[in-house]
Amino acid sequence: MVNRKGFTLIEILVVIGIFAIIVVVGSMSFFNLFKGSARTKAANLVKQDGEYTMGIMTKMIRNARNISDCRLGMNEIEITSPDGRTTTFSCFNNPISSNSAKLINDQLAVSDCNFDCHEGTHGEPEAVVINFTLGTGTSIPLVEQVVVDFETTVVLRNIPAD
């Protein structure tokens, strides 16, 4: 009768192999969790900035007294506020701006931005459709990039009657 104390080489190799598989699967899950977290952060940034920008433009256009040069497919819209001040929302050269002040984060990129002005019955603007696409810039890795479309229709309420 042979007294065996310890493990054979085959048993040790099997345990090491199983342990290596567990480590590889665990590390892949761990890295995927970080990738998902980074993508979620990017999506939140895009949505937050887009909703903020849309909210500012919607509020100001809704309360405008006048809109200059009302037509479809504009990259820029000029409004006159109730206090008589002029504000220009622009989509030229990527950022959405209000009188040259950027409304979005520098890390984000704007595409397909336009203002469609639909005239009412007396030649005054009745509604403005704001449409833009906001996404993460090219500095963010491809797997973390997010693109969100924003669109709303603003019905003007302060256009003076004839």
Q: Please list the residues that pair with 151 across neighbouring strands.
A: 131
Give tens-digit pLDDT for 13-42. 999 999 999 999 888 888 777 777 777 888
**pLDDT value, residue 71:** 81
**pLDDT value, residue 162:** 47
43: tokens are 């999506």
In which residue ranges of the chain is pLDDT below 70? 1-4, 93-94, 122-125, 138-144, 158-162
Distance CA 89, CA 43 (A): 24
Taking alpha carbons only, the member of 39, 57, 61 closest to residue 49 is: 57
What pTM did the predictor assign?
0.71
